[in-house]
Amino acid sequence: MRLISLPAFEDNYIWALQNGADAIVVDPGDAGPVLALAGQGLQPIAVLITHHHLDHCGGVAALRERWPSLPVFAPHDDRFDFHFSTVGDGLRVAVGGWHFDVIGVPGHTLSHIAFVDEHHLFSGDTLFSLGCGRLFEGTPAQMYESLQKLARLPSHLQVCCGHESTLTNAAFALVVDPDNAALSARAEEARRLRAEGRSTLPVALASEQECNPFLRCDTAAVRNAISNRLGRTPADTIETFAELRRWKDEFRV
C-alpha cells in the first residue's frame, strides 16, 4: 500500500491510498490532481469526504463525470450537492479490501468526521500538525473533545490532514510552549522540509501528542501561557483551549 499526497490550491492536500491500480481518495477539493494520477493508470474505487467545505469536496462532480458509479462516503450534511453514502461516528467503511473507522469530530464544522485505518488518520481540518482548525460552526467544548478523541488514538498512526500549515502553526506553538524540546525539533524539521520543497506531512500522532499545544491544554506549560495571557488562572481545560484558539486566530507570524 502506498500513501500519496496531492497538493491542491494554495496549501491543501488531497490524499490517496494506492494498492496496485486501485486507490481510495480522501477530500478531493480539486479533481485535477486525481485525474492526473488516473492518467498514470490509477483507478479510484471510492472517495472519502471529511466535511462539506468546497476545498475538500469540490472535485467530486468532475470525478463522477469520469467514473459515474464512483462511491462517495461523507457525513450527513444537506450542503453536499452530490449523491453519497452517509457515514458517521462509530461506523466503518469497507471498500476494496480497505477498512476505515469513522469518528465524529465536530468543531471546525458540526458534521465533520475523520477516517482511521490501521496506519493512517485522515483528520481533515480538525487536527493539523502543531495546530487545529478554526471553529466555524462548533463550540470550544466540542472541538476540544474532538481533538481529545484523536489524541487517544494509537500513537503510531500517521496524521494526514487537509492543509500544509505546519510552519505557521509552529511559530505560534513556540510562543505558547518555548521550552518544549520536541516541539523545537519538529519546528526545525518542518523548516528544513519546506526549504527542500517537501511536505511536512504525514506526521506521527506521537509527535503531535508531544508537540501540539491544542492537544496539551492540560499541561502546565500551556496552562501557564494562557494564565499569563488572561491575567488569571483559566477555569478549566475548556477555557484554556478556547483562549488558545482565540489567541491563534489573532496571531500573525
- How far is the C-alpha of 155 from the C-alpha of 162, rounded, in Å? 19
Q: What is the pLDDT of residues 20-70, one digit of tens each?
A: 999 999 999 999 999 999 899 999 999 999 999 999 999 999 999 999 999
Lowest-pLDDT range of 37-46, 70-79, 82-91:
37-46
Answer yes or no: is pLDDT of 157 > 90.
yes
Answer yes or no: is pLDDT of 253 > 80.
no
pLDDT of residue 139: 98
In the predicted model, what is the mean pLDDT of residues 226-243?
Answer: 98
pLDDT of residue 1: 83
In the predicted model, what is the mean pLDDT of residues 213-225?
Answer: 98
Answer yes or no: is pLDDT of 233 > 80.
yes
In the predicted model, what is the mean pLDDT of residues 73-87?
Answer: 97
In the predicted model, what is the mean pLDDT of residues 119-141?
Answer: 98
User: pTM higher than 0.75 for the full model?
Assistant: yes
pLDDT of residue 169: 98
pLDDT above 70 coverage of the chain, percent: 100
Query: ∠195-200-204 over CA atoms, to 5°?
Result: 150
Q: Look over the chain and give the mean of its residue pLDDT values, rounded to a whole number.
A: 97
